[in-house]
Amino acid sequence: MEALLRYLCTGTDRLEPTELQQAVQQALTDEGDQLMPTIAERWIEEGERRGLERGLLNGVALALELRFGEGGLRLLPEIEQRADTSTLQALMEAIKRVASPEELRQVYASRPPGTCGGHGSVPPQA
Chunked into runs of 10 residues, the chain (126 residues) has average pLDDT values of 66 69 68 68 91 96 97 95 89 95 89 51 47
The sign of the torsion formed by the CA atoms of 38, 113, 117, 104 equals negative
Amino acid 92: pLDDT:
95
Answer whether residue 104 is part of any domain: yes
Q: Which range marks the domain in which residue 38 is found?
A: 2-109
Answer whether residue 119 is part of any domain: no
Answer whether residue 124 is part of any domain: no
Answer whether residue 92 is part of any domain: yes
Amino acid 8: pLDDT:
65
DSSP letter assigned to residue 118: S
Whole-model pTM? 0.61
Answer whether residue 121 is part of any domain: no
Radius of gyration (C-alpha) of the chain in whole angstroms? 20
Amino acid 112: pLDDT:
63
Amino acid 126: pLDDT:
47
What SS3 state is found at 124?
Answer: coil
Answer whether residue 117 is part of any domain: no
| Cα 30 from Cα 91, distance rounded (Å) | 46
Answer whether residue 120 is part of any domain: no
CB 120 within 8 A of CB 84: yes
| Tally of domains within the chain | 1
**For residue 69, is it left (φ>0), alpha (ψ between -120 and 50) or beta?**
left
CA distance between the termini of the chain: 38
| Cα 92 from Cα 45, distance rounded (Å) | 23
Answer whether residue 122 is part of any domain: no
